[in-house]
Structure formats: C-alpha cells, structure tokens
Amino acid sequence: VGEHQLTGHKVAVKILNRQKIRSLDVVGKIKREIQNLKLFRHPHIIKLYQVISTPTDFFMVMEYVSGGELFDYICKHGRVEEAEARRLFQQILSAVDYCHRHMVVHRDLKPENVLLDAHMNAKIADFGLSNMMSDGEFLRTSCGSPNYAAPEVISGRLYAGPEVDIWSCGVILYALLCGTLPFDDEHVPTLFKKIRGGVFYIPEYLNRSVATLLMHMLQVDPLKRATIKDIREHEWFKEQLPSYLFPEDPSYDATVIDDDAVREVCEKFECTESEVMNSLYSGDPQDQLAVAYHLIIDNRRIMNQASEFYLASSPPTGSFMDDSTMHIPPGVKPHPERMPPLIADSPKARCPLDALNTTKPKPLTVKKAKWHLGIRSQSKPYDIMAEVYRAMKQLDFEWKV
C-alpha cells in the first residue's frame, strides 16, 4: 500500500521484478494486464493510475481496495443473501459487459479475481490472461482455473470469447448463492467430466427464477448459452438494478471536467488550470497531473457513493444530445471538444456586436465532389466504435462474434 504524497490518497502498488518476470516467462501476461487496465475506466474494474519503470522493477500504481477477495469472503461467511448476491452479480456483469464492448475477454473470472472495497462493492482484477477479440477470430488457449472454465475451453475447442466469461460468471453466481461450486472434484479428469456433462445440483432454497438463469448461463452448448443481453433482460437480474451500471448514454464521466478536482490539483501541484486541462486533453494516462486528477475523482466517488454520476461509461464518445436536454451535474463542465453546438437563437449563442464579423459573406458555390473511403475523423478508434455500437443498440441490432 502506498500514499500519493500530494493528494494523500491511498493506492496499491504492485512491484514486478524485471528479471523474475523474464525467468517465469510471464512478460506477455504482464503486458496484457497493463494494456487492458490502462484502457479501462469503470467503477467495478480495478484502475491502473500509473506505471513507473526503473532498471530493475516495474511499479504498477493501482486503485486501493481494502475488502480482500470475494473468494475469502465466501469461505468465511458462507453463501450470501440473495439480494446481496444479486447486487454483487449486477456489478460484476456490468464490468464484464464493459470489457466485451471494448473487445476484451477476461478468460479467468473467478471469486479470487473479484475484490471487495470497504463498501462491499465488487472490483474485477487480474487481466493477465485476457485477450483482445477480433471479428471472425476464434481463440483456442486453455487458460483459467479448471473449476470455472467452460466445457469448450477444457476440451481445447475453438471459442469466440464472450461465452466463456458468461460461463465463469454463472459459476461465480452459483458460488455467491450456494457457498459452493457447481462443479468440483479433486480428481481433475473427473472434474472435467462433470463440466462437460453440465449437470449440477440446485439447492431447494434457490427460487425458480434464479435457478433458470443459472441453467441458461451454465449451458454446455455455447450457442445456447445466455448472452449478456439475455441476462440483462432476465426478471431476477433486473430487480433493483442501479441505472449507472448500464447507462443509456455512457458518455458523462469521460466527457466532463470537474472544476473542483482541477482546482484541487492546482493547489497541490502549484500549477495553473490550463496546465491541468492540457494534461487531461493530452490523453497521456501517465501524466502526473492527470493521475492526481483521477485519484481525486475516484476517491470522491468512493466517499460520496455517487452512483448516479453515470460511472460505467465507454472511453470518451461524442455527444449528440440537444443542449436543452443535456443535464450536467453541478461543479462540472463539458469537455470543450464534446460540447453540443449552440442554437443560433439561444441566449448562450449571443455575442457582443463588436465581436461579429461584418464582412459580406461570399456567395455559396458548389464544391467539387470528393470520394472518401470509410469515415474521416480525428477521434480515436475506440471512440468511433463505441459510438457505432451505441447506434446499433438503438436500432436493436446485436453484436456477436
């Protein structure tokens, strides 16, 4: 555990020795974890604030979570009450959905890789075995823990990716509700036989609704297995579902700047607001001012439990909202590049007469047509694809690899 000297916030520091990494042949695993954690900004995924490199070690400065592993919690307390199990499962599925929307399969989801914070909120960690998905591409690597692995994984068959995470989520949900694993045996070949058979015990105390959900998620045939859309539409899952987990417009947290947080960074670092803004606009997650800003934002969220601040969001996406319908929380302002255009007749669009250009406008002329392949944009690829994905969802299209 470390502490940011200027902001005073606690962080977790993961120290990786270069020589040991090479000797254990886990360079690729570490690179994947850093790559994915740098990309993600979600309330139920562990955040990576900074990577400090020295000649001998790497220091991964990450979000501090004090509650320990979900696995240890279940071992100590046994099965979780149904309402609490649903709340944790909703958070986990929201994080998994976020990963899949950004073409990342975790591939090692299990209670040991789900951490709990001081408020008993779930945080997914350890993306070392994760893999980037490509359209039309299938994976074959048999990775992850046997008890949580899908039948197609332990059998060495090709799999697209998202469906293996759904299976693992089903095992986690079963562990939450029952305090045991659906498939377990000390003899690995026997364990594999049980997993391939897909037959598991359903206790009498489980209500029929959640039992049907478990059976749909732990379906041996990956083509018949529940998708995230199926789970989200299930009556048991929808009960008391917080709106921030699956926001309709996932654009707020990355497209607004918090003035109070900016001023706090200025005070701590004795710098100007423009310097902080430049650091945030640069897109460099390793910039010390950007790191301090995100630390302040994250800790404020934890302290205030600001669950309605649209925390689960994609990386910055363009806003197509009308100015009249855009409600910005107090103390924050839109990112300049994401602000909706002002209506000419609106009071906000008015300017002093001396600021107007009084030169006579040139007559309109028909410009020579140009052909362009694809789209032209200065936005990042992830921003563009996130917007495409949202548009497809509004048209009720479904993305599936």
Among 75, 77, 50, smallest CA distance to 61 is for: 50
**Element holding 90 (H helix, E strand):** helix 82-101
HSE of 210 in the Cβ direction (CA atoms, 13 Å)?
Answer: 22
Q: What is the DSSP string of 158-190?
A: -B-SHHHHHHHHHHHHHHHHHSS-SS--SSHHH
Locate 362 and state its tokens.
């040139």
CB atoms within 10 A of CB 378: 6
**Element holding 216 (H helix, E strand):** helix 208-217
Among 304, 302, 383, smallest CA distance to 337 is for: 383
Cβ neighbours of residue 382 closer than 8 Å, sequence gap 6 or more: 39, 102, 314, 315
Among 327, 289, 296, smallest CA distance to 309 is for: 327
Q: Return the beta strands (E) in 242-377 as ranges.
A: 256-258, 332-334
Among 159, 171, 164, smallest CA distance to 74 is for: 171
φ, ψ dihedrals at 381, nearest 5°: -55, -40
Q: What is the DSSP string of 18-39?
A: HHHHHHTT-HHHHHHHHHHHHH
Among 123, 120, 118, smallest CA distance to 46 is for: 123
Inter-residue contact 166 to 217 (CB < 8 Å): yes
CA 90 to each of CA 41, 74, 121, 192, 285: distance values in angstroms, whole numbers, following the listed order: 17, 17, 10, 28, 28
φ, ψ dihedrals at 106, nearest 5°: -70, -50
Inter-residue contact 52 to 59 (CB < 8 Å): yes
Catalytic residues, which ones?
Answer: 108
